[in-house]
């Protein structure tokens, strides 16, 4: 009986399904069908346009022979670790500081959050000018009399990737702060009060009691930052456009240039599939966790 | 609640149907369309002024010019947009394109057949063979060449040279380095340059010839011979690139080429190594060739010309637009336009039967050198601009050259990477 009732379509169901149908259909076609298409393209000899000559794993073999791709992967690793690590630390620190001093909240919270309201292109362009030795901070410091001041990371192949990290952290830390702030507010007052009564210092209070209770917030932060790190494209394009030379190429810019400007669509698709796999590694455990939580 | 949903649904269906019907009637009322859409990346001062000549010419003939400019020196953005539009069946009538890209497009069957116009106006007899390699595919004319540029040029600020006692033209690499040293010692920037991959590669074209002569350029850049690519001569070429790197200002990376030209024009820097499109910038700034600025072949490459030719590739369009498209093709190759355009742009005409009377000293020299190089077999396609090898190889070479020039690789490492990169790209 119950099984039959489950499948009976009521009027409400019908409306819900009709309304949802376009979204579901469009997502199926424009997200999932194209993922499958991209995977297929990565096994073909596509160059300027998609074509359907099967070449097996050749594109993947070529991809991993490319120095350019190794640079991109290495940069992604540097970028992701620093970006996720430092924005989490800064975000948490700002959240705790605001939480400790309720009066400053209305003033500081918007200030910390504003960078997130700016598009990545604007952030990238602004930081490009700011870090440019000819017009930015170096010049200003030198005009103020600090003639020995030098900050030329953005023009240096070895350090340019760190300028992207700086700009990205500047942008996202406030957002991370808000997530942690919400997590902090959700902690029941009783535990904190009893800890204070027991004579815990502020440091012990946070390290032993508060932060361990933020595990859900930490998980969200890692997933959000993880996928943003892999996707980052606009910031790099605006800030360094992959340069100097090819020093700040990331998998996303690599994928774009091979697919769309270098007439090597097969290799571009292979790199996209590889990025998808990295995504999967980050997202799937999270989704499983979520679904499990929902079922319970 | 439910009622309003139903009403919304009906509304959506009705509007979408009427939109569809509206589209249909528009199609039925098709007439001859006298407009041509032209996609190009000529947005800097000299370039835009040159293209305006064509626009005015066509507008005088009653054809509406729809301009689709996409900034970016080597045309990377333009190519991306073009690909999306061609896939969506919305290709423009004509698109600016370079070298091997044209062949790639032709292979896919996207391009129009211009044989009618070509035959009527006898293009076969007047266009150099080196260009026909790219404007014809399997005997079918698919593109109208606009100009011939060459990349192995040095542009110099005459006043700085005179002041420092540097005699121009400079013809040997040793003299060139001495001159660069002199400028640097005087406190100015010796070499104005923008560190974008294609600009680095443009310098590399000339440097390869200066290091090993025309035969070496042909073996390494056109025949892609692995022994030539991995040879000591190539090591020498990368060594020369490292030498040049020492004469740049610290703030060079990412600078656009026309800003580098402006540095020479304003006297902040003495030299720029750039293709002859830079001449348009100098002329546009009111500079007089011979008194304000001088140009000479990259020292050590006299007699050899590395060329690239801008062409307008014609895409297959509706019958209604064919007439306008053919008018555009014919206008591009008319001698009057070739002269008017190329005197402004700084290049030389794509036809060999055009008089050089209206050109400057530099233009006349360019036309003469092109004809001579064509005769002597020292006219080669430029690697940096996609006329020596297909896009995949070109970009592989550019990756190595730009990474080396920006300090990621040492000289010997760059040679090794170059051999690998070219092999992987083929």
Looking at the fold, whether B143 and B237 belong to one and the same domain comes out as: no
What ipTM score was computed for the predicted complex, to two decimals? 0.72
Nearest one of B78, B82, B103, B41 to B389, comparing CA atoms: B103
How many CA atoms are closer than 13 Å to the CA of B345, on its beta-carbon side? 27
Domains, chain A, with CATH or none:
1-41 (no CATH), 59-295 (1.10.3720.10)
CA angle A233, A239, A243 (to 5 degrees): 85
Which chain A residues are Cβ-neighbours of B87 within 8 angstroms? 49
- Residue B187 burial by Cβ neighbours in a 10 Å radius (0-12, 13-18, 19+): exposed
- Interface probe, candidates A244, A258, A259, chain B, greatest B C-beta count within 10 A: A244
pLDDT score, position B7: 59
Where is the domain boundary, B370, B386, B405? B370
Alpha helices in chain A (DSSP H): 2-7, 11-27, 34-41, 58-65, 67-100, 105-117, 120-131, 137-143, 160-186, 189-197, 202-204, 215-231, 234-239, 251-256, 265-295
> Which residues are within 8 A (CB) of B283 and not within 5 positions of it... i.e. 6 or more apart?
B46, B289, B344, B346, B360
Which chain B residues are Cβ-neighbours of A253 within 8 angstroms? none
Note every long-range contact of A185-191, with CB atoms under 8 Å and residues 24 or more positions apart, other chains counting: A185/A99, A187/A213, A187/A214
Looking at the fold, whether B231 and B262 belong to one and the same domain comes out as: yes
pLDDT score, position B272: 95
pLDDT score, position B164: 92
> CB neighbours (10 Å) of residue A150?
12
A260:B80 CB<8 A? yes
Look up residue B329 and give its two tokens: 């093709």
Where is the domain boundary, B342, B370, B398? B370
Which chain A residues are Cβ-neighbours of B254 within 8 angstroms? 240-241, 243-244
Q: Is A244 on the interface with B (CB under 8 A)?
A: yes
> Which stretches of chain B drop beneath a pLDDT of 70?
1-31, 72-74
Task: Fill in the DSSP letter of residue A48.
Answer: S
- Helix axis angle for B45-60 and B319-332, nearest 10°, is 120
**Residue B16, domain member (yes or no):** no
- Give the sheet arrangement for strand B189-192, strand by strand: B189-192, B269-273, B153-157, B293-297
**Residue B25, domain member (yes or no):** no
Q: Which neighbouring-strand residues pair with B96?
A: B312
Looking at the fold, whether B343 and B388 belong to one and the same domain comes out as: no
> Which residues are within 8 A (CB) of A144 and not within 5 positions of it... i.e. 6 or more apart?
none
pLDDT score, position A252: 92
How many CA atoms are closer than 13 Å to the CA of B303, on its beta-carbon side? 9
Look up residue B48 and give its two tokens: 């835009």
Looking at the fold, whether B297 and B345 belong to one and the same domain comes out as: no
Looking at the fold, whether B102 and B241 belong to one and the same domain comes out as: no
pLDDT score, position A255: 93
Instruction: Compute the distance between CA of residue A98 and CA of residue A90 in angstroms, rounded to an integer.
Output: 12
- Interface probe, candidates B16, B110, B408, chain A, greatest A C-beta count within 10 A: B408
How far does B136 lie from chain A, in Å, by closest CA? 19
Q: Is A152 on the interface with B (CB under 8 A)?
A: yes
Q: Is B399 on the interface with A (CB under 8 A)?
A: yes
Instruction: Compute the distance between CA of residue B364 and CA of residue B386 in angstroms, rounded to an integer.
Output: 25
Looking at the fold, whether B412 and B266 belong to one and the same domain comes out as: yes
Where is the domain boundary, B370, B388, B417? B370
Look up residue B261 and give its two tokens: 């030209």
| Inter-residue contact B384 to B274 (CB < 8 Å) | no
Looking at the fold, whether B261 and B196 belong to one and the same domain comes out as: yes
Residue of A nearest to B76 (CA): A261
Looking at the fold, whether B251 and B388 belong to one and the same domain comes out as: yes
How far does B397 lie from chain A, in Å, by closest CA? 12
Looking at the fold, whether B183 and B121 belong to one and the same domain comes out as: no
Instruction: Compute the distance between CA of residue A71 and CA of residue A89 in angstroms, rounded to an integer.
Output: 27
Compute the CA torsion angle A20, A21, A23, A26 (nearest 10 deg): 170
**Residue B2, domain member (yes or no):** no
| Inter-residue contact B42 to B94 (CB < 8 Å) | no
pLDDT by residue for chain A (296 residues), tens only, comes to 444 555 667 788 888 888 999 999 999 999 999 999 999 999 998 888 888 888 889 899 989 988 889 999 999 999 999 999 999 999 999 888 888 877 777 888 888 888 888 888 999 999 988 988 878 888 888 888 888 888 888 888 888 899 999 999 999 999 999 999 999 888 888 888 888 888 878 888 888 888 888 888 898 898 889 888 888 898 998 888 887 878 889 999 999 988 887 888 999 999 999 999 988 887 888 788 777 877 76
Note every long-range contact of B220-224, with CB atoms under 8 Å and residues 24 or more positions apart, other chains counting: B221/B380, B221/B383, B221/B388, B221/B389, B221/B397, B222/B380, B222/B381, B222/B388, B222/B389, B224/B389, B224/B393, B224/B422, B224/B426
Domain CATH code at residue B387: 3.40.190.10
> CB neighbours (10 Å) of residue A65?
14
Residues 127-156 of B with CB under 8 A from A: none
- Interface probe, candidates B3, B391, B399, B401, chain A, greatest A C-beta count within 10 A: B399
| Inter-residue contact B416 to B230 (CB < 8 Å) | yes
**Residue B81, domain member (yes or no):** yes
Task: Fill in the DSSP letter of residue B112.
Answer: P
How far does B28 lie from chain A, in Å, by closest CA? 30
Q: Is A99 on the interface with B (CB under 8 A)?
A: no
Instruction: Compute the distance between CA of residue A172 and CA of residue A91 in angstroms, rounded to an integer.
Output: 8
How far does B29 lie from chain A, in Å, by closest CA? 33
Residue of A nearest to B79 (CA): A261
Q: Is B89 on the interface with A (CB under 8 A)?
A: no
**Residue B355, domain member (yes or no):** yes
Q: Is B376 on the interface with A (CB under 8 A)?
A: no
**Residue B129, domain member (yes or no):** yes
Looking at the fold, whether B143 and B159 belong to one and the same domain comes out as: no
A133:B251 CB<8 A? yes
Instruction: Compute the distance between CA of residue A112 and CA of residue A181 in angstroms, rounded to an integer.
Output: 12
Looking at the fold, whether B156 and B210 belong to one and the same domain comes out as: yes
Q: Is A111 on the interface with B (CB under 8 A)?
A: no
A66:B424 CB<8 A? yes
Task: Fill in the DSSP letter of residue B36.
Answer: E
Three-state SS letters, B312-342: EEEECCCHHHHHHHHHHHHHHCCHHHHHHHH
Q: Is B29 on the interface with A (CB under 8 A)?
A: no
**Residue B243, domain member (yes or no):** yes
**Residue B72, domain member (yes or no):** yes
- Interface probe, candidates A236, A245, A247, chain B, greatest B C-beta count within 10 A: A245
Looking at the fold, whether B387 and B289 belong to one and the same domain comes out as: yes
Residues 4-23 of B with CB under 8 A from A: 5, 9
* Count of the separate structural domains present in chain B: 2
Full domain range(s) for residue B331 = 35-149+308-370
The count of CB pairs under 8 A between chains A and B is: 89
């Amino acid at each position: 009986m119950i099984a039959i009732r489950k499948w009976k379509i009521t009027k409400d169901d019908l409306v819900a399904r009709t309304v949802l149908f376009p979204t579901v259909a469009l997502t199926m076609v424009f997200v999932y069908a194209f993922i499958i298409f991209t995977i297929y393209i990565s096994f073909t000899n596509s160059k300027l346009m998609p074509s359907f000559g099967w070449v097996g794993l050749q594109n993947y073999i070529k991809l991993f022979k490319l120095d350019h791709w190794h640079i991109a992967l290495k940069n992604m690793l540097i970028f992701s670790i620093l970006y996720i690590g430092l924005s989490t630390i800064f975000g948490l620190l700002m959240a705790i500081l605001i939480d400790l001093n309720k009066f400053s909240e209305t003033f500081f919270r918007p200030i910390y959050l504003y960078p997130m309201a700016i598009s990545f292109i604007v952030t990238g362009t602004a930081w490009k000018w700011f870090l440019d030795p000819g017009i930015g901070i170096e010049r200003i410091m030198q005009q103020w009399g600090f003639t020995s001041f030098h900050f030329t990371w953005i023009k240096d192949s070895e350090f340019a990737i760190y300028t992207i990290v700086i700009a990205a952290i500047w942008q996202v830390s406030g957002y991370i702060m808000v997530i942690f702030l919400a997590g902090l507010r959700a902690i029941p007052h009783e535990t904190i009060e009893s800890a204070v009564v027991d004579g815990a210092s502020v440091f012990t209070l946070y390290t032993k009691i508060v932060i361990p209770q933020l595990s859900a917030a930490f998980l969200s932060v890692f997933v959000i930052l993880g996928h943003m790190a892999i996707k980052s494209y606009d910031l790099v394009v605006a800030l360094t456009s992959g340069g100097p030379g090819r020093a700040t190429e990331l998998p996303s810019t690599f994928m774009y240039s091979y697919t769309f400007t270098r007439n090597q669509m097969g290799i571009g698709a292979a790199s996209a599939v590889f990025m998808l796999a990295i995504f999967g590694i980050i997202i799937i455990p999270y989704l499983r966790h979520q679904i499990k939580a929902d079922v319970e | 609640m439910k009622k309003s949903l139903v009403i919304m649904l009906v509304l959506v269906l009705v509007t979408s149907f009427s939109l569809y019907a509206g589209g249909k009637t528009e199609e039925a009322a098709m007439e001859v369309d006298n407009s041509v859409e032209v996609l190009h990346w000529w947005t800097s001062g000299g370039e835009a002024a040159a293209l305006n000549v064509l626009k005015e010419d066509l507008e005088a003939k009653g054809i509406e010019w729809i301009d689709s400019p996409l900034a970016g020196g080597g045309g990377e953005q333009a190519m991306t947009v073009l690909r999306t539009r061609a896939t969506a069946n919305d290709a423009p009538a004509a698109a600016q394109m370079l070298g091997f890209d044209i062949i790639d497009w032709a292979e896919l069957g996207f391009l129009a057949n211009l044989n009618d116009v070509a035959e009527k106006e006898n293009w076969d007899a007047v266009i150099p063979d080196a260009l026909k390699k790219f404007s014809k595919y399997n005997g079918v004319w698919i593109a109208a060449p606009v100009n011939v540029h060459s990349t192995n040029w040095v542009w110099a600020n005459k006043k700085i040279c005179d002041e420092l006692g540097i005699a121009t033209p400079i013809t040997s690499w040793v003299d060139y380095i001495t001159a660069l040293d002199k400028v640097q010692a005087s406190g100015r920037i010796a070499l104005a340059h923008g560190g974008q991959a294609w600009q680095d590669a443009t310098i590399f074209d000339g440097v390869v010839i200066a290091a090993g002569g025309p035969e070496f350029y042909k073996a390494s850049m056109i025949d892609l011979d692995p022994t030539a690519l991995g040879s000591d001569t190539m090591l020498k070429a990368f060594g020369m690139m490292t030498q040049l790197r020492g004469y740049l200002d610290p703030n060079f990376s990412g600078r656009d080429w026309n800003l580098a030209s402006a540095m020479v024009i304003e006297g902040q820097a003495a030299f720029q190594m750039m293709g002859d499109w830079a001449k348009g910038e100098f002329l546009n700034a009111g500079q007089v060739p011979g008194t304000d600025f001088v140009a000479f072949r990259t020292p050590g490459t006299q007699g050899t010309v590395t060329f690239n030719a801008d062409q307008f590739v014609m895409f297959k369009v509706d019958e209604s637009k064919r007439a306008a498209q053919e008018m555009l093709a014919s206008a591009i190759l008319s001698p009057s336009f070739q002269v008017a355009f190329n005197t402004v742009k700084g290049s030389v005409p794509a036809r060999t039967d055009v008089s050089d009377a209206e050109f400057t000293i530099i233009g006349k020299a360019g036309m003469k050198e092109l004809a001579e190089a064509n005769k002597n077999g020292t006219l080669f396609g430029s690697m940096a601009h996609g006329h020596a090898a297909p896009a995949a190889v070109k970009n592989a070479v550019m990756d190595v050259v730009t990474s080396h020039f920006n300090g990621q690789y040492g000289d010997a490492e760059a040679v090794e990477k170059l051999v690998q990169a070219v092999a992987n790209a083929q």
